[in-house]
């Protein structure tokens, strides 16, 4: 199952780690150079919690901490 926030729709996004080598020009070197680029994922901080629904019922769902802190949901 994909880890996606049920409220905000936040999901993992792709990115990269850029490794640089060398001394910066500001420090007296000839500048830094990219030596490698590695793929990575930025994952949202999701919690599996009980949420009170509008009809009065409760349901467990994946919710981002950003949504919980913003008060977008009411915990059961």
Cβ partners under 8 Å of residue 56, min gap 6: none
Please check whether residue 48 lies inside any domain of the structure: yes
Please check whether residue 1 lies inside any domain of the structure: no
Please check whether residue 8 lies inside any domain of the structure: no
Please check whether residue 38 lies inside any domain of the structure: yes
Quickly list H helices, 1-76: 65-70
Please check whether residue 6 lies inside any domain of the structure: no
Q: pTM (2 decimals)?
A: 0.70
Q: Which two tokens stand for residue 72?
A: 């977008």
Closest-CA residue to 44 (of 61, 66, 60): 66
Please state the rounded mean pLDDT for residues 51-69.
Answer: 94
pLDDT at 1: 61
Please check whether residue 34 lies inside any domain of the structure: yes
User: How far is the C-alpha of 76 from the C-alpha of 23, rounded, in Å?
Assistant: 54
pLDDT at 28: 96
Please check whether residue 21 lies inside any domain of the structure: yes
Domain that holds residue 54: 13-70
Overall number of domains in the chain: 1
Please state the rounded mean pLDDT for residues 29-51.
Answer: 96
Please check whether residue 2 lies inside any domain of the structure: no
Average pLDDT, rounded, for the chain: 94
């Amino acid at each position: 199952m994909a880890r996606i926030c049920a409220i905000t729709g936040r999901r993992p996004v792709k990115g990269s780690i850029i490794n640089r080598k060398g001394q910066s020009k500001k420090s007296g070197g000839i500048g830094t150079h990219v030596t490698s680029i590695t793929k990575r994922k930025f994952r949202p901080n999701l919690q599996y919690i009980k949420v009170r629904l509008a009809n009065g019922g409760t349901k467990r769902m994946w919710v981002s901490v950003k949504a919980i802190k913003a008060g977008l949901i009411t915990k059961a």
